[in-house]
Every structure is written in C-alpha cells, then in structure tokens.
Structure 1
Amino acid sequence: MAGHASTGHGETPRDVVRFYLLDHQTVVGKAIDIALLVLNVVFVVVFVLETYPFSEAMQTMFWYVEVAISLIFLAEYVLRLYGARNRLKELFNPYSIVDLLAILPTLVVFVSPAAVITANIGFLRAIRVIRFLRFYRFTQDEEFFFGTVSVGTLRVMKLLLTVVTIFFVAAGMFYSFEFRVNPTVDNFGDAFYFVVVALTTVGFGDIVPVTQGGRWVTVAAILAGIILIPWQASKIVKEWAYRDKVNVVCPNCGLAHHDRDASHCKSCGHVIYQEYDSRE
C-alpha cells in the first residue's frame, strides 16, 4: 500500500509477512500481487471448465489444479492472519471470510474423500462460485502492481467488477441448482447466457428455471442488479461532481471540498484562504 517503507533491520518475521502481503511497489510485492491475480483467474476458469464434458483425464487434471491452488490460497489466508496487527479483526474481515469460503468446498473434499459424493451437488458446489469475489481484494485501494489509479478510476473498476460478479455468481448458483434437472442447462455457459438475458430483461424464454432454487437465484440476481449497480454508479457520479473541488477543511465547521476560488466557507462563512490562480 502507499506509504510503506521497505523492510529494514530489527523487523520481526510477522512484520515482513505483513509488509509483502500489502506492498505493491517492491519486486517481491509486485510478484506476489501478480501471482495471486493469475492464480485467482485460473481458479475461476477451472470452476467453469469443470462444468463441460471433458474427458476423465482432463477432469482429474482440473481437480489437481483446483486442489493445488486451494492449498496456496490457504497458505495465503494463514499468512494474512499471522501477519495481521489485529488477528481477530483480520479473521472477521469480509475479504478474509470470502477467501476462506472460496477454498472451503475444495478443502472439504480433499480432506474427506467421502465428501466427493456430494461435491458436485447442493450447497457444496454452489458455494464454490464465491471464489469470484476474491477479485474484490485487488480493489481495496488505489495502489496496484502497475501503479496508482485515481479514486474515480478505482470506482469505475469496482462498478464493472460488481456487474461481472453479479452475472458470474448468479450463473454459478443457477447452474448448481439446474444442471441436473433442467435439460436446457448443460454447462456454465448456458447458465451465464440465461442470467444475462434475464437481468437485461430481454427474456427470450428458451431457458427458464425449473427448480425453486433456480427461481430464487434469478430473483436475487435481479434485486442485486437493481440495488448494487446504481449504488456503485452513484459513487462515480459523486466523484465526478467533486473533481473540480479542492479538499480544504474549514477549521470552524469542518466542511471539506470547497470551490477552487472560494475564500470563505459556503456553510459557515469562515475565512478559509484558499489559494487560487486567476489565470485558470
């Protein structure tokens, strides 16, 4: 994150772990960021590919890849807890909860072979789609391995991520409920197609939910789209509205963000003495 100094003498292993998991500027920090991003993409792609009728050998390979990445993410999860200044706070951090839920189904099957029977049905399969939410961890702040972006750009990225997340998670949940009983849903692509058509209100009618779970997933996805997308968009509009303001705080009433040529606070009238170039 911004403002982090390089590690030096006298730091504990815990400090070093915390630094590199948060750092975006050093070679090691950038490498960790890129590696986690790539592994997250592969993790999601494997989930999608497993819904298609590949050969048994390919399905086995997908399973090995999924287990390997899950173990890496488990190590990351443990290291984040180890390096956190407040471990209890980190444990209940929404990002940490998503990290754990994303790998939990795979680890359950890996630890308990008997769970393989139920791995592809019901709750255990449905929850695997949560792994897509791990991408939100990469948008915690404006610092990235490729540099720093503006607040406005970050909010646009979060809006696009929210739209894709709603489509992806809804499609994954819809597929989990429908693929065994709905003849029109054979793979993730069919489910994704249905969700896009349903949420954009096109409604061709060639795919319809036949289970209660599938119907409720459709309703939840539509409500999430109605609520979350305008909420994210409003943040972008608000950011654009304030882009010509100067972040000066009035010492009298505490109001922030004033016009560039303001000499007095527009709320209480206190003199704030903003610098303003008349040539602008």
Structure 2
Amino acid sequence: MNQQKTQSSKNLSLHILALVAGAVLLVAMSMEILTGDHRHFSQNYLWIQFAVCMVFLADFFIRMTQSDRPARFLVHNLLFLLLSIPYLNLVDWFSLHLSHGWAMFIGLIPMLRSFLALYLIVAWLANNRFNQLLTAYLFSVLLFTYLASLIFYDYEILVNPHLDNYGDALWWAWMNVTTVGAAIFPVTIIGKVVCVLLPIVGMIFFPIFTVYISQYYTGKKSAD
C-alpha cells in the first residue's frame, strides 16, 4: 500500500513537471506570436520547444521504466509519446519547407501534452470533489480561450483587415466563447476552425457552471 502511494506521488510529481514545462512553452509561444514577424520562428523559441519536448520525453521514459510491464505501458500511453516529439525542431533541422501556418500548427502539438498533464493532475486532485472539478473546468476554458486568441492573431493579423492588434484577437475570442459573437470574421481556415470550436467550449462549460450554482444554493438551503 505504501509502495503504491509512493509510486502515485512520483507520477504526480512527473506530471507537475510536465505541466510546468508546458507553461514555459506557452509563455515562449506567447512572446513569439506577440513580438515575432508571423513568418519565421526565432532560434530562441525553437530551442525552448526542444527543451520542453525533452522534458516530456524524459517524463515518458522514466514512467515506462518504472512500470511493471513496459511494453503494455508503451501501448497504452503511445499518445503521450507522439505528443512529446519535437516535430518543429525536426522540420527546422531537415530544412523542410512548410508555410508558417503549418509550422505553427505543428508547434502546437506539444501543448496538447501539457493539457493531458493538467487533466491527470486534476483527476488526481479532484477525487469527486465538485468544487475542484469546476475550478479545473474554469481554468481550462480560460487557457483554451487565451490560446485560441494567440492562434487567431498569428494566423489572421497579416491577412484580416478587421484585425489591428492582439487586443482585437483577445476580444474576439472572449465574445465567441460566450457565444455572443464578434464583428471580426476569420478569413483563414485555421481561424474559421477556432471560431467554431470556441462557442462549442462555451456551450459545454456554461451548463456545468449553472449546475454548480444550483447545487451550491441547494446544499446551502438544506444546511440552513
């Protein structure tokens, strides 16, 4: 029993490390998008992405070696491995010619790895406690909306005449996640995809928030 708790604690520590690495990648990506030229990636950003992916890979292989059945662990966690590969660095090293849009899309893949780490940490912490689960949902919506605003800004700023700065992209993202809509319409394929996903996320989250408020006041009334 104690050994199982120790192993669970070690896994949580590794997931937290992966989440921190993902946060570093998000900051680096934000700086790259907000200060870059939207056509080329800086070497600093590429090296940060490589370092973060190395952390993800180290996390994966450490947990695999600690597993009683490494082959089974590999099969069941293959998605984690695929999301940890530094694809953007491979594109750069092999001088593959991709548009900035496709390169940015590839660069977003490791972010999914950090989202999975966030999910696993929340699953470990929540333990059926609704308050923590709601906090996790709220944090996820905030993070997804922020990331969507960055993606929209990077893909649209050079081609969308209605988008003047990042503030417009952030406002656009929040208006769409609340399902209100904005007067800025996407012109790129990625922008249109994000424009569809944001209201879906909002429609998933707000009923959960409504249920939480109802249960909170019902429980408070019962206690009184």
Is the pair's TM-score, using the shorter chain for normalization, greater than 0.5? yes
* Contact persistence 2:137–2:205 (CA under 8 A): yes
In our comparison, the structure showing a higher alpha carbon Rg is 1
Match of 2:101 among 105, 121, 132: 121
* Contact persistence 2:32–2:45 (CA under 8 A): yes
Say which is worse superposed, 195-204 or 73-82, in terms of deviation: 195-204
* Contact persistence 1:162–1:229 (CA under 8 A): no
Say if 1:88 and 1:175 are closer, same or farther in 2 by CA, change over 3 A: farther
Say if 1:204 and 1:236 are closer, same or farther in 2 by CA, change over 3 A: closer
Question: Given residue 63 of structure 2, which amino acid in structure 1 is its aligned partner?
Answer: R
Question: Given residue 122 of structure 2, which amino acid in structure 1 is its aligned partner?
Answer: T
The structural deviation recorded for 1:222 is: 1.0
**Partner in structure 1 of residue 125 of structure 2:** 142
* Percent identity of equivalent pairs: 20
* Contact persistence 1:177–1:211 (CA under 8 A): yes
Distance in 1, Cα, partners of 2:56 & 2:167: 26
The structural deviation recorded for 1:120 is: 2.9
Distance in 2, Cα, partners of 1:119 & 1:21: 40
Say if 1:243 and 1:84 are closer, same or farther in 2 by CA, change over 3 A: farther
Say if 1:39 and 1:212 are closer, same or farther in 2 by CA, change over 3 A: closer
Distance in 2, Cα, partners of 1:236 & 1:92: 33
Question: Given residue 192 of structure 1, which amino acid in structure 2 is its aligned partner?
Answer: L
* Bigger helix share: 2
For residue 87 of structure 2, give the secondary structure of its aligned residue in structure 1: helix
TM-score, normalised relative to structure 1: 0.58
Distance in 2, Cα, partners of 1:220 & 1:237: 25
Distance in 2, Cα, partners of 1:210 & 1:181: 7
* Contact persistence 1:74–1:100 (CA under 8 A): yes
Match of 1:109 among 88, 100, 104: 88
The structural deviation recorded for 1:202 is: 5.0
The structural deviation recorded for 1:139 is: 0.8
The structural deviation recorded for 1:50 is: 0.9
RMSD, aligned α-carbons? 4.1
Residues 87-137 of structure 1 deviation map (CA, whole Å, 9 limit, x = unaligned): 5466445xx73x446544xx1232342356427322x42254451524323
Instruction: Identify the structure with bigger relative contact order (alpha carbons < 8 Å, sequence gap 6+).
Output: 2
Pairing of 1:1-280 with structure 2 (within 5 A):
5=2, 18-19=7-8, 21-23=10-12, 29=13, 32=14, 35-53=17-35, 59-85=42-68, 88=72, 91-92=75-76, 97=79, 99-100=80-81, 102-104=83-85, 107-112=86-91, 113-114=93-94, 117-118=97-98, 120-122=100-102, 124-129=103-108, 131=111, 133-134=115-116, 135-142=118-125, 151-175=129-153, 177-185=155-163, 190-201=168-179, 203=181, 205=183, 207-226=184-203, 228-230=204-206, 232-233=208-209, 236=212, 240=216
Distance in 2, Cα, partners of 1:78 & 1:115: 28
Residues 171-228 of structure 1 deviation map (CA, whole Å, 9 limit, x = unaligned): 34434542442245577655333211233355552x32122432232122212321x2
Say if 1:217 and 1:54 are closer, same or farther in 2 by CA, change over 3 A: closer
Say if 1:54 and 1:215 are closer, same or farther in 2 by CA, change over 3 A: closer
For residue 75 of structure 1, give the secondary structure of its aligned residue in structure 2: helix
Distance in 2, Cα, partners of 1:89 & 1:242: 43
List runs of 5+ in structure 1 lacking aligned partners.
8-14, 24-28, 144-148, 245-258, 260-279
Distance in 2, Cα, partners of 1:215 & 1:59: 27
TM-score, normalised relative to structure 2: 0.70
Residues 149-187 of structure 1 deviation map (CA, whole Å, 9 limit, x = unaligned): 871222122221232243134334434542442245577
Question: Given residue 139 of structure 2, which amino acid in structure 1 is its aligned partner?
Answer: L
* Contact persistence 2:145–2:174 (CA under 8 A): yes
Say if 1:89 and 1:192 are closer, same or farther in 2 by CA, change over 3 A: farther
